[in-house]
Structure 1
Amino acid sequence: MTQALALPTISAVGSIDAYIQAARQVPMLTEEQEFALATRFREESDLDAARQLVLSHLRLVISVSRGYLGYGLPHADLIQEGNIGLMKAVKRFDPGRGVRLVSFAIHWIKAEIHEYVLKNWRMVKLATTKAQRKLFFNLRSMKANRDALGPVQVADIAQRLNVKADEVMEMDTRLSGHDTAFDAQADDDEAFVPAAYLADHSSEPVHVLEGRARDRLHSDGLQNALGSLDPRSRRIVEARWLTEENPATLHDLAGEFSVSAERIRQIEVKAMQKMRANLAPLVANT
């Protein structure tokens, strides 16, 4: 659009409730009216026609935006971002294709709201791939309730969304988390808050030297504990617990060793018990 459309904003109307009521009062367009307005805008750059198209679809943005209220972001902001997507849709809409604007616009509205959520929500860093974004936006609706997911649900969601089971569990844990206040409330001096634990003595020379010695002991102890395992058990422990990127799943290792996932789990449990027994004296002395 060559100019900004004079569209009502929530701040101009006074409140989100008043805005929603105003949007609902705008009459919906018939197919013939929509075609005529879209043609005028496309062929004559008629901004008044574009404005009428946008106003008649504000209720669609309000409806779509409600689906994103679970991320803790202001409804007013979600609506405003959705309106940007609606205006982009009107600008690109071709009435000659025989598709109603509502079907064409919903993609642009959701895309704009998605970007807003990902940029502003506290878990944005988890949704870095297309599959993770799909998980981010669908996990809430796929859960039967607010309880933690069980193994069967995790496996089902992972398969349906083409992501790893551990990614589903991690996303569920983080989506279920709550923010912690940095400072205590004025009437709650005993509450746990991060501000009370900011003092850092770890950089003092004595602590640095002690930490380095402890790290060396733990590193040597870990290598000795791993050395006490048979090759298969050591491979399972290293692949499951000592790999920083893409740790192996039970099913991955079951395929590698041609046994069941349950057998891999049993071997892992016994290996970890043996390692703990070897590390016990070291832990007791540190």
Structure 2
Amino acid sequence: MSDCQALQPIAVTIPGVNLGSYIQAVNSVAVLSAEEERALAERLHQDQDLDAARQLVLAHLRFVVHIAKSYAGYGLPQADLIQEGNIGLMKAVKRFDPTMGVRLVSFAVHWIKAEIHEYVIKNWRIVKVATTKAQRKLFFNLRSMKKDSGHLTMAEAEAIAADLNVSTRDVLEMEGRLLSYDAPLDGSPDDDDERAAQAPIHYLEDHRYDPAVQVEEADWESSSQARLMTAIGNLDARSQAILSRRWLAEEKATLHELADEYGVSAERIRQLEKNAMDKVRAALTA
């Protein structure tokens, strides 16, 4: 059974605009006894019975609501938290083995919280505040472990680090992230002219990649390269060959190698190279 297959039979249970009606509806679904739950799980596990999966999910939606309420402090829509938890519940139902000897709700808690955690971390701030395992642990535990809303002392940070088995540096860094806030990109409508001029929109632009500048630079580079090739083309054949071998080839020739080829001294090759370079520079600056 795929997650999509499991989702279709319970589409009517997705929390919508009227969250109160949804919660009332899921609370009206009877809780399964251990025997009923095991029988449904066996039908799903052995026969891939989607109706059994639907009944298992429906009977446990009330628990998702209960878990989602504990994440209300992050300021995210309750309906979205519940829906993410429902996805975790469906994944748990798909993986539940009735022979394990535990109730589905105990097994599903991990999957429900995992989906809600992922949603909270992705949507609580514009910039993701927790990426490593230690950061995620601190994100969901630090606020409840702090004694007050003020800044942590070093002793408190060290105590929390020891309790959670993370570094003190991680604790202090996460505290800073939790105490920070997202700045509006273009400022607030109530800002005066001076504050509005300091909004991030005015300094986040990278002018190095201005299309007009890029076109201008490309034109200049193309023109310079064309003039360089013309200047080299006006040299005599030997001078062209020496410059090409000394500066344009992937494996540059040495003065002595060219001296042997042309039957002259290395000093003579150096002089020819210098004269050719002078003529090219003069042509480019003319």
Name the TM-score class by shorter chain.
0.5 to 0.7
Equivalent residue number for residue 141 of structure 1 = 144
Answer yes or no: is 1:111 the counterpart of 2:114: yes
Q: How does 1:43-58 map to 2 (within 5 A)?
A: 43-58=46-61
Unaligned runs of 5+ in 1: 204-286
Equivalent residue number for residue 198 of structure 1 = 202
Equivalent residue number for residue 27 of structure 1 = 30
Instruction: State which drifts further: 17-26 or 52-61.
Output: 17-26
Q: State the TM-score, normalized to the length of structure 2.
A: 0.63
Give the residue type in structure 1 aligned to 2:153: G
Equivalent residue number for residue 180 of structure 1 = 183
2:169 to 166, 174, 186: 166
1:130 Cα deviation from its structure 2 partner: 1.6
Give the residue type in structure 1 aligned to 2:122: K
SS of corresponding position for 2:24: helix
Report how many residues are paired: 202
Equivalent residue number for residue 216 of structure 2 = none
Equivalent residue number for residue 245 of structure 1 = none
1:162 Cα deviation from its structure 2 partner: 2.1
Give the residue type in structure 2 aligned to 1:122: R
1:69 to 68, 72, 82: 72
Equivalent residue number for residue 124 of structure 2 = 121
Q: In the TM superposition, what whole-angstrom CA distance separates every residue of 1:192-241 from its partner, at most 9, and x where no partner exists?
A: 354377169x98xxxxxxxxxxxxxxxxxxxxxxxxxxxxxxxxxxxxxx
1:184 Cα deviation from its structure 2 partner: 4.4
SS of corresponding position for 1:122: coil
Distance in 2, Cα, partners of 1:185 & 1:55 = 44
Query: Could you tell me whether the CA contact under 8 Å between 1:39 and 1:95 is conserved in 2?
Result: yes
Query: Could you tell me whether the CA contact under 8 Å between 1:61 and 1:82 is conserved in 2?
Result: yes
Q: How does 1:1-286 map to 2 (within 5 A)?
A: 1-2=1-2, 3=5, 4-7=8-11, 8-11=13-16, 14-122=17-125, 125-189=128-192, 192-193=195-196, 194-195=198-199, 198=202
Query: Could you tell me whether the CA contact under 8 Å between 2:23 and 2:62 is conserved in 1?
Result: yes
Q: State the TM-score, normalized to the length of structure 1.
A: 0.63
SS of corresponding position for 2:10: coil
Distance in 2, Cα, partners of 1:136 & 1:92 = 28
CA RMSD of aligned residues (A): 2.7
Give the residue type in structure 1 aligned to 2:56: L
Instruction: State which drifts further: 98-107 or 178-187.
Output: 178-187
Q: Structure 1 residues 184 and 131 mapped into 2: Cα distance closer, same or farther (>3 Å)?
A: closer
Unaligned runs of 5+ in 2: 208-286
Q: Structure 1 residues 89 and 199 mapped into 2: Cα distance closer, same or farther (>3 Å)?
A: closer
1:145 Cα deviation from its structure 2 partner: 2.5
Give the residue type in structure 1 aligned to 2:106: S
Instruction: State which drifts further: 92-101 or 170-179.
Output: 170-179
Distance in 2, Cα, partners of 1:186 & 1:118 = 28
Distance in 1, Cα, partners of 2:59 & 2:119 = 23
Q: In the TM superposition, what whole-angstrom CA distance separates every residue of 1:151-175 from its partner, at most 9, and x where no partner exists?
A: 2211100111222223212211221
